[in-house]
Amino acid sequence: MTEPFDFADELGPAKIIHLHEPRVGLRAILVVDNVATGPSIGGLRMASDVSLDECVRLARAMTLKNAAAGLPHGGGKSVIFGDPGMPQDQKERLLRTMASALRQEEDYIFGPDMGTNEQCMAWVLDEIGRAVGLPRELGGIPLDEIGATGWGVTHAAEIAAQHCDLALDGARIVVQGFGAVGKHAARFLTQRGAILVAASDSRGAIHDDGGLDVSALIKIKDEGGSVIDHGSGQKLDRDAVIDIDCEIWIPAARPDVINNENVTKLRTRMVIAGANIPSTPGAERYLHEHGVICVPDFIANAGGVICAAMEYQGATETAAMASIEEKIRRNTETVLDRARDHNVLPREAATALATERVQRAMRSRRHGLFSAAPGFI
Ligand code: NAD
């Protein structure tokens, strides 16, 4: 059995709150990991099988991601037990109850994640006045619609390409998971001259060495189809994208898709992580030792949370995109330089960079992990 302080280390978590309200069937958890750099931002995940362990790990990932991106926000995460496809009125009741129960937890700003969306954030905002990832009419910047994360992935790829003297113009890319992140990464990279040679989704994959039509694929996906509905190219099983020859391989779907069993099959010069934890630690080490540059997830896919933080400050969409570009280019550069100079994995360099930022912020705090109460002297 997990003991309450099993998760505790020098960075957090600062608070774990379990919520239970039988009248509406609410079971939820909030983990505020560390707020030394500011109030935490992290998504609310809704699924039947969420867990405390998952919530703690995701909250820490947000601490590192937000610190690495230089945002004035710490890391937190919340989960709610339930089927995200439940009737809307029931979902609204649960979310409003949860938000209301956490009204005083000003160290946590709700955002969307798996199982929640802009509408859910609108309910939270209405209830407690604190949420990001809002609908446009409530001041939100629709990050999946504009491709905020794919935009950041593109800049990470551009910097990584410079590190291995690769021109983006003519570079072949493979996108595993042609969804909100993957399709926009493909769109922005092909605008820079790269060629999309393969793309996959949950139903299969499509491959054409001559290049796939990205706009046509996006249209098919937006209309509810699959990449395999694309008229040209060779249809493949969804996992067959692993060994397609390319320069840039972009995982943008599930965790652990590059693992010890299949890592030797990859034929690429770089892996730019659009998805969260797409490679196992062993696979990432193997790639590093074989000269493949891996830009870690919390550096490459921070575009979404940078956009959310900008939205919270009331910034425009243009300013948010400019900030994503600036931060992700600078961070990718720093991480790859440090990895090369210290002969460590980019992930190790990125973790050290983020941890140092959090620890520096903690030193200027009276309570380390916690923020002082407003008006404290
Ligand atoms: P999404 O649901 O829009 O897209 C995921 C795509 O992957 C879909 O096209 C789906 O069909 C496909 N897919 C699912 N299983 C697959 C498989 N086994 N093989 C190939 N394709 C598969 O989701 P998204 O928002 O694009 O998120 C993708 C990943 O990026 C997730 O890991 C998410 O946590 C991460 N991420 C997303 C954002 C964001 O801004 N949306 C930000 C940071 C990280």
Dihedral over Cα of 254, 255, 260, 263: its sign: positive
> Which of the listed residues 58, 79, 201 should we mutate to test ligand 1's pocket, taking the one with most ligand atoms within 8 A of CB?
201
pTM over 0.85: yes
- Which residues of the chain, if any, have pLDDT below 50? 375-377
CA nearest neighbour of 279 among 253, 296, 298, 257: 257
Q: How far is CA 32 from CA 10, 78, 107, 338, in A?
A: 14, 8, 7, 29
* Rounded distance from Cα 367 to ligand 1 centre (Å): 38
- Ligand 1 pocket, 156 CB below 6 A? no
Report the atom number in ligand 1 closest to the C-alpha of 254.
Answer: 32
Both tokens of 343, joined, read 């002969």
- Distance CA(203)–CA(340), nearest Å, equals 38
Pocket of ligand 1, candidates 45, 149, 206, 310: which has the most ligand atoms within 8 Å of its Cβ, to mutate? Answer: 149
The atom of ligand 1 lying closest to the CA of 276 is 32
Tell me what pLDDT residue 369 has: 66
d(CA 1, CA 98): 26
Indicate whether residue 254 lines ligand 1 (CB < 6 A): yes
Task: Assess whether the C-beta atom of 117 lies below 6 angstroms from ligand 1.
Answer: no
- Say which amino acid occupies 240: A
pLDDT value of residue 101: 98
* Nearest protein CA to atom 15 of ligand 1, as residue: 202
Q: Tell me which residue has its CA closest to atom 24 in ligand 1.
A: 180
Q: How far is the CA of 254 from the centre of ligand 1 (A)?
A: 6
Q: Is 274 in the pocket of ligand 1 (CB under 6 A)?
A: yes
For ligand 1, whether the C-beta of 306 sits within 6 Å is no
Using a 6 Å cutoff on CB, does residue 238 contact ligand 1?
yes
Per-residue tokens: 10 = 């020098």
Q: Which residues are catalytic?
A: 77
Report the pLDDT value the prediction gives residue 365, as an integer from 0 to 100: 84
